[in-house]
């Protein structure tokens, strides 16, 4: 491999010290399968002992480090991939388990366009495919964000391949070349090559796309602001947002003697800690600020009521009609989306329940242009539904009584509609 | 005889709030509940109000429930703010008088749930040169052994198609839908033939790829029909909701009602027009059984006007609650007070339409110039005994429509009202072994209204129902690929209702431009002279 003209070699520390001559045992020496290192002729990897691969040579003077081929003849032979030198060993197999990860090489890249060439052994005129080039070891997202288009390589027909890497800054870093190319593909098997190429392509492209999104500049402030809004601050200050964006990006938030996060980009632990521990949410003086805080989410208020007032599923001792009921009910809140416009997993669209930038249509929030996302669903039918439901819960328990939040467990409805019962 | 009373026994529940208070007197109880539900934010002002109000309750348990009920109305519970009252009463603006000079219009959507066998609602009668009637009877199962399930010439209420494009000069309406024949002959009803949910024009060769919905499935076709936006340009919204959003943006006061549960068709974009959900018995009560006298007054007092430096979110809640209580009471009072002069059938779609007629009478007090109503009738999934089932359903629908049309005419609103009918799909023309019909696609639907240029069968009635290489619209068993989209009727209707071509229409009907020549404009459906 050549980076900007400079030769890059790999030599395995596990390489064999002896270099035997190639020993051709015959055209199809099936009695000798699996064959030892530097024995031939092989056609597939299974003809070689465990850990060895069949090195396909179909032209004169093809060579493989670790085997001496003085006759220079074109029979294929078994090789140890650890003997790789001056080239990457590209195994067969056609599935991701056979990917080879070379040791990292430190290379210098220049600002602008860098050229990477891969030289293919003579005679292997079917192109290898190098699907992925990754620069590792530099704290993210610096690197990933510099790869405007994550590099993606597909081999072409010529035996000398040219790849272009677009790098916007000069950097020196460990360079891991995680490459995959089925050796069978190097020879003849176009079908398996394209099959594998497509699968790997899809995997890498998905990965690259996700990475691009995760490291996008908007992600940290977007997530931070939205999480702050869900944690009770509808209009977080720029300083508060910036502090927690840093926590998310650096993966570290320190509060007193405690630190949170794993020091990696995208730490939700650090972000969450920042969101709930920052001075903007912990200083009591802020309660005096009229713009502080938020409206509460309807379902959370119902939960507050249920938890704080110690709801339990306790069937009444008198009055329940119908057959005996098991007491192991789940808490049965029924059709909450209809009643209060808010229910777990029942969001009306991908935009969820609240518009994050919703400004109420009246009052001081309108004049001050303050967002009150939860007010998005505070319309008359839902306010009436929510308040009726809580009134009923307090007075009649978990039931359908007087527009309650649940369903009636017995045969006849609370209201007596289905029987001749009376109310009150 | 047990009943639901505030006696602490929770006789109609599966569980209840079980916390035992620790406070020994009402002041301590208020403080305790305030800590639990408002993190102690509850203002002294509100504590005093609640204590005074609940002290009339006979015992500590009842006082404890009363305190909880009142605290859940407080702004401190609904926001994370503290708040300070100004000491003045809150001014709630309940004036709803519209200053719009637009005349009133109402759109009533009757949804026939289950998949109406609409080729049994409107059948071919006199057709030349192709005898479509004979083909129709044949695909509906007529042979030497059986008459099949098709309408016969003798049964049909004959109408003139008034459309040279159709394969038939006359059609027949089902005998139990005489209201449609009457209105049709008055020019107040029309049909669109072989219409259905489509995103683009399709035929038997490409319909699967180009109609990315679960064709022939009730749930999805019902949902998608109500959304009428199969490429999800306006995610999570329905036609009515989008119409209302556009009207609202043009300052045309509009209300949207469902008399049949929550309906996606009524949902607009977030923050848009809030749809009302009513039952046939009207608007649900608010605080139907108050624990203390003048409870609503106490609730409003808790949410009285605040000082300028009081919490803004608390104020937002108090304002919205006070307005909601006022508008709810106004609408409830109005609705309970109005009655209609026509006798409606009880129950079912008739009762729903009665509620619609009552609501129309409250339009002035609601201050609207546009109303959108959704009602539905079920039971159309006629997998067996289709003919007998439809006699029952159509009879009920006919009675309901007769009463509704009569009432709307009495109210003088007939030219201002359009009723559109939809169903998720039509059914196989080919009967199954139980004399039923199974899930299909394209079919016939109708609309009625005093402003319509009716008396016409629009769309294109199929002249060949049998699957063959030369038939672009017939799938197996007489499942018809629609020739006209739902937007054919919606476009002109929406235009009549105040939606203008261009960006407004693109939002209301995001797919309508895919069907050049297959869309009816306002001038087609309502003519040049309309209200």
Residue B99 falls inside a structural domain:
no
Is A225 part of a structural domain of the chain?
yes
What would the 3-class secondary structure string for B437-489 be?
CCECCCEEEEEEECCCCCCEEEECCCCCCCCCCCCCCECHHHCECCCEECHHH
B96 closest CA partner among B242, B241, B305, B255: B255
- Please count the structural domains in chain B: 2
Q: Judge if B409 and B438 occupy the same domain.
A: yes
Q: Are residues B307 and B255 in the same domain?
A: no
Q: Is residue A406 part of a domain?
A: no
Q: Which of B15, B226, B256, B335 to mutate to test the interface with A (most CBs of A within 10 A)?
A: B15
pLDDT in tens, chain B (531 residues): 334 456 677 877 888 999 999 999 999 999 999 999 999 999 999 999 999 999 999 999 999 999 999 999 999 999 999 999 998 888 886 655 566 788 999 999 999 999 999 999 999 999 999 999 999 999 999 999 999 999 999 999 999 999 999 999 999 999 999 999 999 999 999 999 999 999 999 999 999 989 999 999 988 899 999 999 999 999 889 999 999 999 999 999 999 999 987 788 998 887 788 888 888 878 889 999 999 999 999 999 999 999 989 999 999 999 999 989 998 998 888 888 898 999 999 888 999 999 999 999 999 888 899 999 999 999 999 999 999 999 999 999 999 999 999 999 999 999 999 999 999 999 999 999 999 999 999 999 999 999 999 999 999 999 999 999 999 999 999 999 999 999 999 999 999 999 999 999 999 999 999 999 999 999 999 998 665
Chain B hits for A394, CB-CB cut-off 8 Å, are 17, 65, 68-69, 72
Q: Which CATH number belongs to the domain containing residue B481 in this structure?
A: 3.40.720
- A370 with A384, same domain: the answer is yes
The predicted model scores a pTM of 0.68
B267 with B312, same domain: the answer is: no
B110 and B30 in a common domain: no
Query: What's the sign of the alpha-carbon dihedral B126, B127, B131, B135?
Result: negative
Q: Report yes or no on B458 lying in a domain.
A: yes
Within-domain flag for A401: no
Return d(Cα B422, Cα B116) in angstroms, integer.
9
- The verdict on A209 and A154 lying in the same domain is yes
- Judge if B476 and B411 occupy the same domain: yes
Please tell me whether the interface predicted TM-score (ipTM) of this complex is above 0.95: no
B79 and B120 belong to one structural domain: no
Instruction: Give the domain range for residue A109.
Output: 96-214
The per-residue pLDDT for range A284-302, each reduced to its tens digit, is 888 889 999 999 999 999 9
The CA distance from A331 to A308, in Å, is 15
A416 assigned to some structural domain: no
Tell me if B433 is assigned to some domain: yes
* Domain match, A223 and A204 both: no
Q: Hey, are the CB atoms on B309 and A290 less than 8 Å from each other?
A: yes
Q: Which residues of B touch A384 (CB under 8 A)?
A: 284, 286, 324-325, 328
Q: What are phi and psi of A247, to 5 degrees?
A: -60, -40
Pair (B277, B129) in one structural domain: yes
Q: Do A136 and A206 reside in the same domain of the chain?
A: yes
Mark whether A203 and A106 lie in a shared domain: yes
Of B68, B235, B285, the CB nearest to A403: B285
Domain boundary among A214, A231, A255: A214
Same domain, B114 and B63: no
Is position A422 within any domain? no
Cβ-based contacts of A310 with chain B (< 8 Å): 17-19
Disruptive mutation site among B12, B242, B326 for chain A (greatest number of A CBs within 10 Å): B12
Show residues of chain B in contact with A290, CB under 8 Å.
81, 308-312
Q: Is the dihedral of CA A228, A232, A235, A237 positive or negative?
A: negative
Residue where a domain stops, chosen among A214, A233, A252: A214
Residues A245 and A191 occupy one common structural domain: no
Q: Which domain holds residue B44?
A: 26-84+301-327
Q: Is A33 inside any structural domain?
A: yes
Specify whether A332 is located in the same domain as A390: yes
The answer to whether residues B127 and B167 belong to one domain is yes
- Total domains in chain A come to 4
Token code pair at residue A181 = 């190319």
Query: From the CB of residue B405, how many other CB atoms can be counted at a distance below 10 Å?
Result: 25
Residue A138 has pLDDT above 60, yes or no: no
Assess whether B262 and B401 both reside in one domain.
yes
Domain boundary among A288, A316, A347: A288
| In-domain check, residue B294 | no
Q: How far is B130 from chain A (nearest CA, A)?
A: 49
A75 belongs to a structural domain = yes
Mention every residue, 6+ apart, whose C-beta is less than 8 A from residue B517.
Answer: none
The number of residues in chain B equals 531
Cβ separation A406–B14 shorter than 8 A: yes
CA A43 to chain centre: 40
Domain C-terminal end among B327, B361, B387: B327
Domain presence at residue A186: yes
Clarify whether residues B384 and B427 are in a common domain: yes
Other CB atoms within a 10 A radius of the CB of residue A392 amount to 26
Are A122 and A194 members of one domain? Answer: yes
Q: Which of B12, B14, B77 sits opposite A313 (nearest CB)?
A: B14
Domain shared by B307 and B375, yes or no: no
Considering only CA atoms, which of A124, A129, A128, A117 is closest in space to residue A162?
A117
Joined tokens for residue A31: 């009695």
| B17–chain A nearest CA distance, Å | 4
Query: Within this chain, do residues A174 and A121 fall inside the same structural domain, yes or no?
Result: yes
In 3D, which of A377, A323, A329, A293 has the Cα closest to residue B324?
A377
CB contact under 8 A, B276 and A381: yes
Residue B65 within any structural domain of the chain: yes
């Amino acid at each position: 491999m050549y980076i900007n003209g400079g030769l890059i070699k790999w030599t395995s520390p596990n390489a064999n010290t002896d270099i035997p001559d190639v020993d051709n045992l015959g055209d199809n020496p099936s009695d000798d399968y699996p064959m030892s290192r530097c024995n031939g002729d092989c056609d597939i990897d299974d003809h070689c002992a465990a850990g060895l691969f069949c090195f396909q040579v179909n032209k004169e003077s093809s060579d493989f480090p670790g085997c001496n081929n003085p006759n220079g003849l074109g029979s294929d032979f078994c090789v140890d991939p650890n003997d790789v030198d001056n080239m990457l060993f590209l195994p067969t197999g056609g599935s991701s388990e056979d990917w080879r990860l070379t040791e990292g090489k430190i290379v210098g890249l220049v600002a602008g366009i860098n050229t990477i060439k891969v030289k293919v052994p003579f005679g292997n005129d079917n192109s290898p495919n190098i699907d992925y080039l990754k620069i590792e070891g530099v704290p993210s997202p610096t690197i990933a964000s510099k790869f405007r288009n994550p590099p993606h390589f597909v081999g072409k027909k010529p035996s000398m391949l040219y790849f272009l890497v677009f790098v916007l800054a000069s950097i020196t870093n460990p360079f891991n070349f995680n490459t995959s190319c089925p050796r069978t593909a190097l020879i003849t098997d176009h079908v398996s090559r394209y099959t594998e190429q497509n699968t790997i392509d899809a995997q890498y492209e998905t990965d690259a796309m996700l990475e691009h999104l995760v490291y996008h500049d908007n992600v940290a402030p977007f997530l931070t602001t939205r999480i702050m809004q869900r944690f009770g601050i509808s209009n977080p200050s720029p300083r508060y947002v910036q502090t927690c964006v840093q926590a998310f990006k650096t993966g570290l938030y320190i509060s007193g003697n405690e630190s949170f996060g794993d020091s990696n980009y995208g730490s939700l632990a650090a972000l969450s800690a920042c969101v709930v521990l920052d001075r903007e949410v912990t200083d009591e003086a802020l309660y005096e600020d009229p713009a502080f805080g938020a409206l509460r989410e309807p379902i959370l208020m119902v939960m507050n009521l249920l938890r704080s007032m110690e709801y339990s599923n306790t069937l009444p001792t008198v009055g329940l009609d119908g057959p005996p009921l098991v007491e192991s009910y789940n808490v049965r809140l029924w059709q909450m989306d209809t009643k209060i416009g808010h229910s777990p997993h029942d969001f009306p669209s991908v935009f969820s329940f609240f518009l994050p930038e919703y400004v109420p249509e009246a009052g001081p929030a309108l004049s001050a242009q303050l967002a009150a996302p939860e007010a998005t669903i505070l319309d008359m039918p839902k306010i009436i539904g929510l308040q009726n439901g809580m009134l009923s819960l307090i007075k009649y328990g978990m039931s359908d009584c007087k527009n309650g939040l649940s369903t009636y467990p017995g045969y006849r409805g609370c209201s007596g509609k289905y029987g001749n019962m009376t109310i009150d | 005889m047990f009943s639901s009373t505030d006696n602490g026994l929770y006789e109609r529940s599966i569980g209840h709030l079980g916390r035992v208070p620790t406070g020994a007197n009402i002041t301590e109880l208020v403080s305790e509940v305030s800590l639990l539900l408002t993190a102690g934010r509850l203002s002294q002002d509100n504590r005093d109000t609640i204590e005074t109000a609940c002290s009339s309750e006979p015992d500590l348990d009842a006082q404890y429930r009363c305190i909880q009920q009142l605290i859940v109305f407080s702004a401190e519970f609904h926001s994370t703010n503290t708040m300070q009252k100004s000491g003045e009463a809150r001014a709630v603006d309940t004036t709803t008088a519209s200053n719009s000079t637009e005349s009133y219009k109402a759109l009533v959507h009757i949804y026939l749930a289950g998949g109406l066998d609409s080729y049994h609602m409107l059948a071919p009668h006199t057709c030349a040169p192709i005898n479509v009637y004979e083909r129709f009877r044949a695909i509906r199962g007529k042979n030497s052994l059986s008459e099949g399930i098709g309408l016969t010439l003798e049964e049909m209420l004959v109408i003139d198609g008034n459309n040279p494009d159709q394969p038939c000069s006359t059609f027949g309406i089902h005998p139990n839908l005489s209201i449609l024949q009457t209105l049709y002959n008055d020019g107040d009803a029309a049909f669109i033939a072989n219409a259905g949910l489509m995103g683009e024009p399709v035929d038997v060769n490409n319909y699967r790829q180009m109609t990315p919905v679960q064709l022939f499935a009730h749930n999805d076709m019902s949902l998608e029909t109500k959304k009428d936006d199969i490429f999800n340009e306006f995610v999570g919204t329905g036609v009515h909701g989008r119409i209302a959003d556009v009207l609202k943006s043009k300052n045309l006061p509009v209300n949207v009602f469902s008399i049949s549960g929550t309906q996606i068709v009524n949902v607009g974009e977030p923050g848009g027009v809030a749809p009302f959900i009513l039952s046939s018995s009207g608007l649900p009560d608010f605080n139907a059984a108050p624990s203390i006298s003048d409870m609503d007054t106490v609730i409003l007092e808790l949410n009285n006007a605040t000082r300028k430096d009081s919490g803004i979110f608390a104020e937002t809640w108090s304002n919205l609650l006070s307005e909601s209580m006022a508008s709810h009471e106004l609408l409830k009072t109005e609705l309970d007070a109005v009655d209609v002069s026509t006798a409606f059938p009880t129950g079912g779609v008739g009762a729903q339409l009665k509620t619609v007629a009552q609501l129309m009478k409250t339009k002035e007090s609601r201050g609207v110039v546009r109303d959108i109503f959704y009602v539905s009738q079920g039971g159309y999934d006629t997998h067996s005994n289709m003919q007998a089932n439809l006699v029952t359903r159509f009879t009920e629908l006919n009675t309901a429509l007769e009463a509704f049309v009569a009432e709307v005419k009495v109210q003088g609103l007939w030219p201002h009202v359009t009723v559109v009918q939809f169903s998720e799909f039509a059914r196989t023309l080919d009967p199954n072994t139980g004399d039923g019909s199974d899930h299909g696609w394209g079919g016939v639907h109708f609309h009625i209204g005093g402003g319509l240029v009716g008396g016409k069968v629009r769309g294109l009635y199929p002249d060949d129902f049998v699957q063959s290489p030369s038939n672009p619209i017939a799938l197996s068993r007489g499942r018809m690929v629609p020739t006209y989209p739902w937007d054919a009727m919606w476009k002109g209707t929406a235009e009549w209702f105040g939606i203008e071509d261009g960006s407004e229409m693109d939002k209301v009907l995001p797919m309508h431009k895919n069907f050049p020549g297959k869309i009816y404009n306002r001038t087609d459906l309502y003519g040049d002279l309309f209200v």
